[in-house]
Chain A
Amino acid sequence: MSLKDIIAPFSVWKRVFEKPYTNKKPIDTRPGAPRYRGFHVNDLDTCIGCGTCEEICQNAAIDMVPVRETRHGDSGLRPKMDYGRCCWCALCVDICPSGSLGMSNEYLWVDEDPEVFRFIPGQDGKPWNDSELGYRRAEGYDLLEGSRVPMPMLSVQESQKSFVEMVQGYSKEQAKAEADRCIACGICVATCPAHMRVPEYIKAIRDDDMGEGLKIVYQANPLPASCGRVCSHACEYVCAMKHKGEAISIRWLKRYIVDQIYLGDYANILHECEPDNGKKVAIIGSGPGGLSAAYYLRLLGYAVTIYDANEKAGGMLRYGIPEYRLPYDQVEKDIEFIASLGVEFRQNVRIGIDVDFLEVYDNNDAVFFSTGLSNPFGLDIAGEDLPGVVSGLDLLADVTNGKTPDIGSSVVVVGGGNVAMDAARTSRRYGADVTILYRRRETDMPADSEEIHEARGEGCEIVVQAIPLRIEKGTETRLMLYWGKAEMVSDGPGKRPRPVLIEGSEEVIACDTVIPAIGQAADLTFLPQDIASGLVGKRGYVEVDEFHRTPVAKIYAGGDIANPKRDAISAIANGHSAAKGIDIYLGNFQN
């Protein structure tokens, strides 16, 4: 102990003259730091209600509550925060796929009512709602992966001269990596017409449990090998991950599951049918709708007979979709499993010609028909009946039947839908130069964007805003197609602009073949007149209720004739609900 020890402490007396550290009254509140994790903000228009914030919150401080109307790609739910539970970790902000959720730098809020600390950010007016400052996910830090695992594809050089399947499928590692991106929000389930349990089968891929995956897939879709290739994948258009970049390859993951299992092993994995219940159901048309209804009815113990006009079953899956998109053996894999359950297929039977409809009607307890749209629309222009004009559907069916189409060396396809793209790309594979004419803009094309992209990549020329005027016989080539340019005329806000011909803009293409592919209509001539008139409702669709029951007793309908979506997965969903409807109608339904 020295003298210093007595004196030294007094030297800090100088601090008396320092300014105090504490704030003087009235307290001037300091704003939180720009990154401060304060009360949440949420852009309700950007938020899609996927609930990933709720999923990651380890405090269960977030509840998804209904705020908006549910629509495609938006559950309508929005997060409600409970600040009695929130620990301000901001993982919810980090994981938010749409990037709508953030935190303000507001940290001072006093209220005597604890209830007010539970609110919906963005919905309930708070002074910090427009706060630009506060925690946001930093650039360079991301808990989710926005880019898709690239799918191995045939090169364009190879694909444009062969019918080998272009999409080669994921390897195990690729599929697992792609499956890992899924956040299991389930927005896809709500959007899928068949409500397939997508996150669950994607989980099966992560768990490497293909049997479980197949079981889940078959619960809502008995044609997964086909759907895994050509489904219109409404799910991928709404996938939450799309907001971060690319949607999960839901369709190709489903295909991955099915590709891993041999048909022979299906029986060991999937449920067996119920015992026969002694009731009979006839199905007319063996497209996706008919096959789906047959599968689910057979599972329930019905004796099912499918009548189909074509040589082989599958409908448009087989005759409308080219082999490079959907190989025939894959269609067969789906169909053979359904056949193996005891469904009777009667091919090459035209109802109304070979067998009378009433005979089928009287001999069965119920009839389901999904005969699809088989009558192609004509172009309604002069010269349409010249040799060399062939509809897209006829061309595709010929190719399936093994005929080499007589298309010459130059082809013009008219239309912008998937049939037009299929016809164009098929023609390209037979060595023809292909031009696609479409009345509207490219953005209006009903075909999938990847189809358009691939068609162009394979060398098809796409001419938009082009209206065919007439077809004449050519001199050097078989035909001359005259067409005029169109301008888009608005019909008022909210309405689709319509193409109007620009007078005097006529041009001509010399070609060997013109393929109209501008849509098709239903052919219900197989039905007796009185029944047909009772079925068709507004806009030409067969009128059905939620169980796909028509106004005529015992008759059910589905697929393209009964729903405006006109895709395979909707037809599959129709077949499934019709099967349930028939089961209920026939009094067999057990909860």
Chain B
Amino acid sequence: MVEMAKYDPRDKFPPVDAGSGKSVYNLHSGKYMKVWQGPQHPGITGNMSLELTVCGDEIIDCKTHVGYLHRGFEKLMERRRYIQCFPLVCRICVPEPDFNEYLFAEGVEELAGIEVPEKARWYRALTLEMARLASFMMWIGGQAAAFGMGTIGQWTVTMRDYVLDLFEELSGGRIYHMYIIPGGVRADLPIGFALRVEQTLEQIGKVLDDVELALMHNAVFKKRALGLGVITPSMVDEYGITGPNARGSGIRRDIRKDNPYLVYDQLEFSIVTETGGDAYARTWVRLRETRQSIDLIRQMLEKMPTSGPFFQKLPNVLHWKIPAGQTYRKAECTRGEYGFFMVSDGTELPRRIYVRGPSYTHAVTLMEKLAVNVNIADTAGLMVSLHTYPPEIER
């Protein structure tokens, strides 16, 4: 009896170059195929593309393509007065616009030497945490749907809509809130707002219980997410990985704790970490951070001052000259470190505003590394597990 050799498809894989870690292959050999995933693909979290080289149905090479969403915000802002940049910045990241508003406002305030009232600092923190909550809810939907569990996505996206209702009530806009403005915020909390926030939080809490049951304790999800896209702790600094992607690999790094901004030093919370480093661990981090957001919002509503101004008067914004200087402000958004580097040359227009979106490192360089040896069917799940929003790649 002839012993059958154990079949391993990887035997047919092309050799890997030891230096670059990339596969060495000849596309014309007929053994490999190019698959274009995106930009019109639900598994690509927005407008970008993956150029996949596959051997069978496994990826041996991945190249990322961006440029489908380039609106030139950074350049536009160099031709806008500071106040006119305010409605622009939120559009840099659609599902979580408030971080742009906050960092832009903080940068302008720091350069111009403006002190924001205490109440505005609480309102800003509340807005940011609500934005994190909404962003996580949307992400859970994406992550579940990428593995074929669209129903879970429907629950959480609905919950996100309830948060958007709150934003609509607070700021007058559902998606682009344009609430945090240099000098403070644009309006006080509506009467009874805290009560309605609490009602929504309770509802979300219940949904999260169900999400845990249906997603985290789900054989299908575990089977596919465990071991998918493993980020080792040594990769974190090499690739500039931040946020839940780093925390899923056991790195205790959270700007809210490490460099507390706004009122985070007055709130009780701890950094959420997991050690797996894979898509499953990252999902756990995000789910627990969603609950943490709920808790933080509750703490804020309890502790925030009830009286005092929420806006510090600015010089005339129509010809506001910001003193020359530069600053980098950062904050912890759902995807990691969000940063604004701003340079003023003392005129009415910003000289340069550079936006550091965490998605750039995660979706471009990290994805190219992690996609190798992944099954085509899991690419969407892997992509979503990195939680990237392409608009912030292309500012």
Contacts and interface: CB of A to CB of B under 8 A. Distances in A.
A138 B213 contact: no
Interface in A132-159: 135, 138-145
B309 A181 contact: no
Given A32-B168, A143-B317, A94 B186 contact: yes
B311 A141 contact: yes
A55 interface: yes
B171 interface: yes
Nearest to B212: A8
Contact of A91 (B83, B155, B219): B83
Interface string A108-142: 00000000000000000000000000010011111
B311 A91 contact: no
A138 B315 CA distance: 18
Given A8-B218, A15-B155, A135 B172 contact: yes
A12 B213 contact: yes
Contacts of B158: 21
Interface string A64-75: 000000000000
A143 B184 contact: no
B12 interface: no
A56 B318 contact: yes
Interface string B292-325: 0000000000000000011101111111000000
A269 interface: no
A32 B317 CA distance: 29
**How many of chain B's residues touch chain A, expressed as a range?**
35 or more
B contacts with A: majority SS: helix
A378 to B, nearest CB: 51
Contact of A184 (B161, B190, B309, B318): B318
A140 B172 contact: no
Interface in A1-43: 1, 4-6, 8-9, 11-12, 15, 21, 32-37
Contacts of A12: 210, 213-214
B187 A35 contact: yes
Nearest to B309: A140
Nearest to A15: B210
B176 A87 contact: yes
Contact of B84 (A6, A52, A58): A58
Contacts of B86: 89, 91
Interface string B76-109: 0000110111111001000000000000000000
A182 interface: yes
Given A5-B219, A56-B83, A140-B311, A95 B168 contact: no
B316 A91 contact: no
B28 interface: no
Given A55-B318, A203-B319, A8 B313 contact: no
A88 B90 CA distance: 12
A375 B202 CA distance: 86
A90 interface: yes
A182 B217 CA distance: 63
A559 B85 CA distance: 49
Interface residues of A, number: 45
A200 interface: no
Contacts of A21: 158, 161
A206 interface: yes
B176 to A, nearest CB: 7
Nearest to A21: B158
Contacts of A144: 316
Contacts of A181: 316
Interface in B196-236: 210, 213-215, 217-219, 222-223
A145 B172 contact: no
A5 B222 contact: yes
A8 B213 contact: yes
B188 A91 contact: no
Contact of A89 (B87, B155, B184, B219): B87
Nearest to A105: B172
Contacts of A90: 172, 178
A58 B169 CA distance: 25
Given A94-B186, A140-B311, A180-B319, A1 B222 contact: yes
Nearest to A103: B172
A1 B222 CA distance: 8
A183 interface: yes
B186 A138 contact: yes
Interface string B153-168: 0010010010001001
Nearest to B209: A12
Contact of B169 (A33, A59, A182, A203): A33
B88 A58 contact: yes
A88 B173 contact: yes
B210 to A, nearest CB: 5
A5 B161 CA distance: 29
B218 A9 contact: yes
Nearest to A141: B311
B87 A140 contact: no
Greatest chain A CB density within 10 A among B176, B187, B309, B311 is at: B187
Contact of B313 (A36, A135, A142, A206): A142
Given A91-B87, A183-B318, A35 B172 contact: yes
B162 to A, nearest CB: 9
A52 B318 contact: yes
Contact of B318 (A33, A35, A36, A95): A95
A21 B200 CA distance: 13
A62 B171 CA distance: 22
Contacts of B169: 33-35
Interface in A434-458: none
A1 B223 contact: yes
Contacts of A6: 219
Contacts of A32: 168
B179 to A, nearest CB: 10
Contacts of A4: 217
B110 to A, nearest CB: 20
Contacts of B88: 58
Contacts of A143: 83, 314, 316-317
A9 B216 CA distance: 9
A140 B313 contact: no
Nearest to A202: B319
Contacts of B318: 52, 55-56, 95, 183-184
Contact of A1 (B80, B161, B171, B219): B219
Greatest chain B CB density within 10 A among A15, A91, A94, A182 is at: A91
Contacts of A36: 168, 172-173
A556 to B, nearest CB: 40
Given A9-B214, A140-B310, A95 B317 contact: yes
A191 B168 CA distance: 42
Contacts of A35: 168-172, 187, 190
Nearest to B90: A89
B380 to A, nearest CB: 20
B87 A5 contact: no
Contacts of B213: 8-9, 11-12
A94 B86 CA distance: 13
A185 to B, nearest CB: 10
A183 B185 CA distance: 22
Contacts of A94: 186
Given A6-B219, A35-B170, A36-B172, 4 more contacts: A90-B178, A141-B184, A143-B314, A184-B318
5 A-B pairs with the lowest CB-CB distances in the bound complex, closest first: A89-B87, A58-B84, A8-B217, A138-B187, A35-B172
Interface of A: 1, 4-6, 8-9, 11-12, 15, 21, 32-37, 52, 55-56, 58-59, 87-91, 94-95, 103, 135, 138-145, 180-184, 203, 206
5 contacts: A5-B222, A33-B172, A58-B85, A91-B86, A91-B87
Interface of B: 80-81, 83-88, 91, 155, 158, 161, 165, 168-173, 176, 178, 184-188, 190, 210, 213-215, 217-219, 222-223, 309-311, 313-319
